A and B are shown apart, each in its own frame.
Chain A
Amino acid sequence: MTVFESSSNDVLGIWSSAPVAAIESFGLGVESDQIDAVTYRVRLSSGSPDSMVEFENTNKTLNIIGDVLDNVPSRLVDLVDRMLEKRSLQASGISFDVQAETMLPQAEIELIEMLSVLPGSQDSEASFGMSEMVSDAWGVARAQFNDLAAQIDRDLLHFAWVETIYKDELLARTIINWGGDLQTALKSDGTSAQVPLHARAILSVVQTRHLRLRLFVTIASCSVKVASLLAVPGSVVLALPAVFQYVTKIVAQARDLNSIQVS
């Protein structure tokens, strides 16, 4: 089975987090703290045809995630429109009466629940004591969004290393910058059948980085939409963790559904 590892967390769920020590053991010749780049490693245990199938599956998952990100904004706009319509029909402020919305998908329900604890979404006088509003779920979502922001920053600022291991031996290593320039070192006795596998590994990494950026931007733009439901300053920022949770949940659902179908 092909294993996809990364030295940093992957919010898309494609790359599993690998121990740093393992990645540093490849005698990079330069101290790892000098190049603060993420390392992606693909471990192939089987031959070319099987590995290609696995790459195809990964590619398919990434495409599905891309489709989700394409559709999430419109899905969220629908929700926001419904909520605003309800508000206009009600005398007081927005109601996040969850019970009335049980026909909504689970992700939407959870989003509404998270938003309901924020100021501006309640009938009572707005309170600006933010710290009292933060629940555990909020804390987790906030921390995860911070991680994503840091990852985006890291992706944009730094190179990425892509390594392909075949039967526990390093086949190739590529350094790739955000603009797509490639430098690749290959094992001299690597066969031409194996090189396309490394090329697919590079493609997977590039798709992952791009999708991560799209995820981030989608969350931000969706937060702008959701912010219209909150009548307080800084509502976009307040909405971010909730929207992060919402979008990543939908992504995870789509990814898991695909893996079930594939298997």
Chain B
Amino acid sequence: MAQELFTNGIDAETGGPLDGEFTITTEMIAKVARGQKLTAEDLKDAKMRKAYDEGRDSSHFGVAEGIDETDLAQTGWSVIFPAGLPARSVDAIREALKPLLDLRKEQAAATNEIFYKEVIGPDLGYKSGESKNDFLKRFGRGPGPADPEKFPYYTLIVGSPETIPFTFQYQLDVQYAVGRIFFDKLEDYFRYASSVVAAENKKFSRAKKAAFFGVANPDDRATNMSLSTLIRPLAQQMQSENSDWAVETIDPTKATKANLANYLGGAQTPALFFSASHGMSFKPDDPRMLRHTGAILTQDWPGPKARVPVTDKLYFSADDIPSDADVFGMMAFIFACYGGGIPKSDNFYRQAFGTQKDISPYAFISQLPLKLLSHPKGGALGVFAHVERAWGSSIQWDGSVGDVTTFDSTVSALLNGKPAGAATEHFNSRYAEISTMLTEELDSTSPEMQDDVKLAGLWTSNNDARNYTFIGDPAVRMNFASSETPKTERENLGSVVTLIPAAVAGASAGFQPDVTIKPQANGVSSSIPSANSNFGIFDLGKKNDTTGSMDGTRGISESLKNFFDKLGNFLSKTLDDASSLEISTYVADNMATVGYDAGKFTGAQLRAVTRISMDGDTLVCVPEKDGEVDVAVWNIHAEMVRTAQTNRAELMKTIVNAAASISNIVK
């Protein structure tokens, strides 16, 4: 009998699970699994892995025998750029990454210079469409353990998943230790690079503190399962195996957005942060998509039965990391759908229904991990996260057996000083093992005899294990000691990321981050969904249909109606979301240095804040000067508050009038 499966993803518009259009069942997945067309290379890899399983310890994937995976001078280190990236951009990124490249070169090429490799340029770089085996073949390497003399074990991909696909990363990651970074701004490359170098060279450390953030939303099977089957047992296991660590499990009642801020940059920020929750997903034309995909849906969400649109008050995204966050030197593990990124097309949908379903304007890495890595006060070392959907079956095997060994092994590896890329070998092993099992199940039994549930479980677990990625340099290691470097000293060390070299700053203006020009990304307008920004309804006069313009005008009319439908919804939601009004007043001596980043002014001092909720509750932060209220600033702020209140009243009138007119138009 078909069983329903569930994933760790929530659709922001409906407040319901992803794929609300249909319920994913084991029967569907089993069909997909049977229809899965493995490439010759997939089969070759699977057979190779199987041979390895039979002949060796199955956990020993990765670098060839006899090589110490913790020593870069033995494993090597490389960086891969897209072949098509313009030379000017390559040079700019190299300049920005220079601190990291210099460090890794010094380490990897200590005894053999070929162990450090920059895979850059039109001839050497990753060529569009290349498979992992095609790529390695160019370096004289085929499937099998990494041989640093041919190609280094640790590999940092610098490029978007549009130009160097996630699938390449997955394939390469089976035997190599792979990480990826991709930033839109040049300065972010520098910030990350100098953060990693400062953390390693300056020997600063975080206290031996780990935090396990377990969301369990009401009436939600997925998060209740991840709490009971992943978070709690993993935290307990870590504590029992590492008595010198302070391991905190954040209870669901405290797994709120506000409290999460304490652990991602606030006072409780640990050396290792681990969360399990739903991840946010959006429709491709939603302006929040590019910035908020994969955001951590916190306990504030009332659960699937509420079926309410999810606003940014219910999830924690990159925008919620404040400019003074203390994430320097931490590492995070985010278990959530799309926590690491999202492909352009839904792989499951394509295989199941034979048609392409675009779930994103283009493949991209989620912003939350990238923001952690490039924080202007010093970045995190790296983030383990999941690309695409995360299936519940990855932490509960066969529907009943909780299995956190892979996660526990990864955490243990990190605590034992293994670099992040090597620590993920346990996921690679799991992927390889399940892949082999899946292949064998398909090969050895006929469709009539196959167990749909078993097949579906294998298929989802296979994809799940494959899709865990590391965002960051795979050679980074966790940074901890018995005593924590004092915060002020950490801040001083972290401030190195603000000393952006002139060459980097100068190149930033014309910087092109990627090979291709991506579709225009819409700006984010707080929590409010948008009307369709692409009207396409006024191509009057164009002879673009052969049936006559009657069909053309009908199509245009439909577009117009749809537009007004959406505008009406937008305005209604504006009213719903206008539950509070926030006014902030900053002061700066020099307005020319004032910037705006991550939702806040920079280069100016925040002096007063007022937040007024619909029910009249008012929160006020009053400016202070020499122990007294700064009356001058307060009067200015009060003027702004009055202005905002007048504006809000005007907005209500406008919306009410517009909504009434729109309803007539739509009729």
Contact = CB atoms under 8 A, between A and B. Distances in A.
Interface of A: 26-31, 34-37, 128-131, 134, 138-139, 142, 145-146, 149-150, 152-153, 156-159, 169-171, 173-190, 192, 195-196, 199, 202-203, 206-207, 210, 213-214, 217-218, 220-221, 224, 232-234, 236-238, 240-241
Nearest to B560: A237
A124 B591 CA distance: 66
A157 B532 CA distance: 10
B581 A179 contact: yes
Interface in B483-506: none
B523 A142 contact: no
B661 interface: yes
B587 A186 contact: yes
B526 A157 contact: no
A128 B554 CA distance: 12
Given A128-B549, A179-B581, A221-B664, A206 B541 contact: no
A146 B533 CA distance: 12
Interface string B70-83: 00000000000000
B557 A35 contact: no
9 contacts: A36-B522, A134-B541, A159-B523, A179-B581, A180-B651, A185-B591, A188-B588, A192-B632, A202-B647
Contacts of B613: none
A200 B23 CA distance: 53
Contacts of A131: 541-543, 549
Contact of A157 (B287, B509, B557, B600): B287
Given A130-B540, A233-B557, A179 B526 contact: yes
Q: Which 3 A-B residue pairs are closest in the complex by CB-CB distance? A: A29-B595, A234-B553, A210-B654
B324 interface: no
Contact of B548 (A128, A152, A236, A241): A128
A186 B639 contact: no
Contact of B596 (A28, A139, A149, A218): A28
Contacts of B560: 220, 236-237
Nearest to A147: B538
Nearest to B544: A131
Given A178-B528, A180-B651, A181-B581, A236 B636 contact: no
Contact of B538 (A145, A157, A181): A145
B603 interface: yes
A153 B535 CA distance: 9
B272 to A, nearest CB: 32
B401 interface: no
A2 B662 CA distance: 36
Interface stretch (B126-134, B210-218, B420-428, B570-578): B570-578
Interface string B511-549: 000000000101101101011010101101111000011
B249 interface: no
Nearest to B547: A128
B135 interface: no
Given A184-B584, A221-B661, A237-B537, A207 B650 contact: yes
Given A149-B538, A156-B570, A180-B651, A187 B664 contact: no
Interface residues of B, number: 77
Given A186-B588, A187-B589, 19 more contacts: A128-B548, A131-B549, A139-B541, A142-B538, A142-B541, A149-B538, A170-B592, A180-B578, A183-B583, A186-B636, A195-B635, A203-B646, A210-B654, A213-B658, A217-B657, A224-B665, A233-B554, A236-B560, A238-B540
Contact of B662 (A171, A217, A232, A240): A217
Contacts of B570: 156
B540 A142 contact: yes
Contacts of B661: 217-218, 220-221
Residue picked from B537, B540, B593, B647, most chain A C-beta under 10 Å: B540
Contacts of A220: 560, 564, 661-662, 665
A185 B570 CA distance: 29
A192 B636 CA distance: 7
Contact of B650 (A152, A192, A206): A206
B463 interface: no
Given A29-B603, A134-B541, A182-B644, A237 B556 contact: yes
A149 B650 CA distance: 21
B168 interface: no
B594 interface: yes
Contacts of B578: 179-180
A233 B555 CA distance: 10
Given A157-B287, A233-B554, A237-B537, A186 B644 contact: no
Interface in B280-306: 287
B550 interface: yes
Nearest to A35: B523
A146 B536 CA distance: 9
Nearest to B561: A236
A179 B577 contact: yes
A128 B585 CA distance: 58
Residue picked from A150, A171, A183, most chain B C-beta under 10 Å: A183
Contacts of A28: 595-596
B19 interface: no
Contacts of B402: none
Contacts of B662: 217, 220-221
A129 B592 contact: no
Residue picked from A26, A36, A220, most chain B C-beta under 10 Å: A220
Contacts of A156: 525, 528, 530-531, 567, 570
B586 interface: yes
A149 B535 contact: yes
B643 A185 contact: no
B236 to A, nearest CB: 43
B557 A175 contact: no
A22 B202 CA distance: 44
A187 B588 contact: yes
Contact of B525 (A134, A157, A185, A234): A157
A59 B358 CA distance: 47
Contacts of A158: 522-523, 525
Nearest to B611: A181
B604 interface: yes
Residue picked from A146, A186, A196, A221, most chain B C-beta under 10 Å: A186
B225 interface: no
Given A149-B538, A179-B528, A234 B643 contact: no
B601 interface: yes
B538 A146 contact: yes
A185 B588 contact: yes
Contacts of A139: 541
A185 B523 contact: no
Contacts of A37: 523
Contacts of A31: 185, 508-509
Contact of B643 (A187, A188, A190, A199): A199
A58 to B, nearest CB: 15
B552 interface: yes
Given A184-B586, A210-B651, A203 B595 contact: no
Residue picked from A158, A190, A199, A237, most chain B C-beta under 10 Å: A237
Contact of A195 (B525, B636, B647): B636
Given A177-B526, A178-B528, A29 B589 contact: no
A11 B578 CA distance: 28
Contact of A30 (B535, B538, B577, B597): B597
B643 A26 contact: no
Contacts of A203: 643, 646-647
B528 A182 contact: no
